[in-house]
Amino acid sequence: MSSDLDADLDTVIRSTLDDRELAYESKEPGKFFVTLPGTKKLQTNCWVVVGRHAVVVEAFVCRRPDEAHEEVYRFLLRRNAKLYGVHYTIDTQGDIYLVGRVAPHAVTPEELDRVLGQVVEAADGDFNTLLEIGFANAIRREWDWRVSRGESLANLKAFQHLVSES
């Protein structure tokens, strides 16, 4: 970090994360690895990094879908139209992320809270849908394997309709 503005941004981000009682690590000024809690996706790991021209927010959502790629990407593109401050993207391997940029002068506790809230709402809210579309066969195989071994199905209950339909 090279300027007073960067130091001010670091302070705003740190105090906002502390005030919201969010778990994070910051091993160097201007870089925060934040763990956002969820319910469907139990946690979303998110980078908040003070860059030269923007504060960048980046969160991993899920790995590359096994199947129905076109349908998954169509869902993501449509969903982008409804998101605030972040958008879905994929990396070179096809893994799915949420990314956003906030102008340095716009970084306030309220704006950071709103953007991080959008990350949680999207990553957590869309998680099961992404799994249903892009991993339906893997879910069915996992269900069958657990049934055959008498294993718990508790964390697969949200996907029972996929098994019932097949």
Q: Are residues 144 and 87 in the same domain?
A: no
Distance CA 149, CA 142 (A): 11
Q: Are residues 166 and 125 in the same domain?
A: no
Expressed as residue numbers, the domain containing 153 is 136-166
Q: Model pTM greater than 0.85?
A: yes
Look at residue 127 in the predicted model and tell me its pLDDT.
Answer: 96
Helix extents (H) in the chain: 4-19, 69-80, 109-134, 136-149, 160-165
- The predicted-structure confidence for 56-107, as pLDDT tens digits, reads as follows 999 999 999 999 999 999 999 999 999 999 999 999 999 999 999 999 999 9
State the CATH number of the domain containing residue 30.
3.30.1460.10
Q: Are residues 54 and 96 in the same domain?
A: yes
Q: How many residues does the chain have?
A: 166
Q: Are residues 120 and 41 in the same domain?
A: yes
Look at residue 5 in the predicted model and tell me its pLDDT.
Answer: 59
Q: Are residues 54 and 89 in the same domain?
A: yes
Percent helix, percent strand, percent coil in the chain, to nearest 5? 50, 25, 25
Q: Are residues 23 and 76 in the same domain?
A: yes
**Whether residue 4 has pLDDT greater than 90:** no
- The predicted-structure confidence for 14-57, as pLDDT tens digits, reads as follows 999 999 999 999 999 999 999 999 999 999 999 999 988 999 99
Q: Are residues 27 and 38 in the same domain?
A: yes
* CA angle, 165 then 120 then 146, to 5°: 35
Q: Are residues 89 and 117 in the same domain?
A: yes
- Looking at the 3D structure of the chain, how many domains does it have? 2
